[in-house]
Amino acid sequence: MSGNIELLNTTLAAAKAADRAALIAYLPAGFPTVDGGIEAVKAVVAGGADIVEVGLPHSDPVLDGPVIQTADDIALRGGVRIADVMRTVREAHEATGVPILVMTYWNPVDRYGVERFTAELAEAGGAGCILPDLPVQESALWREHAEKHGLATVFVVAPSSRDARLATITAAGSGFVYAASLMGVTGTRASVGAQAQNLVERTRATTDTPVCVGLGVSDAAQAAEVAGFADGVIVGSAFVKAMLDAPDEAAGLAAVRSLAGELAEGVRKR
């Protein structure tokens, strides 16, 4: 069965045709529970998210700040497994019809088996993977199987990436390029940072693939700012924090749906 890279491509193209950026939401699988995580994905899509990244909880999340680390810890203590991540992708995609990617560090994929992981993700209706710690020069095996199964391979670029390095990364990736707005870990911030626009411009000089910005976006004003120069706005910690701060799961779902609605309005005010 083929994955949904084409759905991802057409979703990003449709947002561009509507003269706006796409809203991409991140939520970890298994948080607060597996069922609760699936409901959270449905809630952000109901609020206005165009694309969802489902995080594969990891014990050493080098790119993630304390908010997502806390959620990952809750999911891991709850016993979440890769099978639960695949179930989250399958049920959330069937319920919403939007492209759903998995964001994961390389070690769990490597241990699970690249062929097995890509085949199962495609069968679940996944659109691809974001692999923040997989070096491009070591990615040939992953890309071979991802392409075979119709999955996007999304690499992360940073303000420190030199132009030649950007060209190498964008030539190897597909779906979109994940531009980290600043040097650091995920988390909500008062300002997204001027480095982000420069990074998007330098990345666009190397590719026609959409460039989406993440790290630090937490409200409608920041979403509107980033939407002014990026093809997509990625929000994760703000959604997770809304769930963590809620007194119960129902309130958490209402909070993430409301936040998605505000952010969706923001990306339309670019």
Mean per-residue pLDDT over the chain, rounded: 93
d(Cα 265, Cα 47) in Å, to the nearest integer? 10
C-beta neighbour count of 198 within 10 angstroms:
12
- The active-site residue out of 6, 19, 50, 53 is 53
CA dihedral 244, 250, 251, 256 (to 10 degrees): 70
Summarize pLDDT for 223-232 with one digit per residue, the tens.
Answer: 999 999 999 9
Please tell me the pTM assigned to this model: 0.94
Count Cβ atoms within 10 A of the Cβ of residue 41 and give its class: 0-12 exposed, 13-18 middle, 19 or more buried.
Answer: buried
What pLDDT, on the 0 to 100 scale, is given for residue 215? 80
φ, ψ at 231 (rounded to 5°): -85, -20
- The active-site residue out of 64, 72, 120, 231 is 64
**What is the DSSP pairing of strand 211-214 with strand 232-235?**
parallel
The answer to whether residue 19 is catalytic is: no
The answer to whether residue 249 is catalytic is: no
d(Cα 41, Cα 13) in Å, to the nearest integer? 22
Point out the residues of the chain with pLDDT beneath 70.
1, 61-64, 182-193, 270
What pLDDT, on the 0 to 100 scale, is given for residue 193? 61
What pLDDT, on the 0 to 100 scale, is given for residue 269? 83
What pLDDT, on the 0 to 100 scale, is given for residue 183? 44
**How much of the chain exceeds pLDDT 70, in percent?**
93
The tokens describing 76, both together, are 């891991």
Beta bridge partners of 214: 180
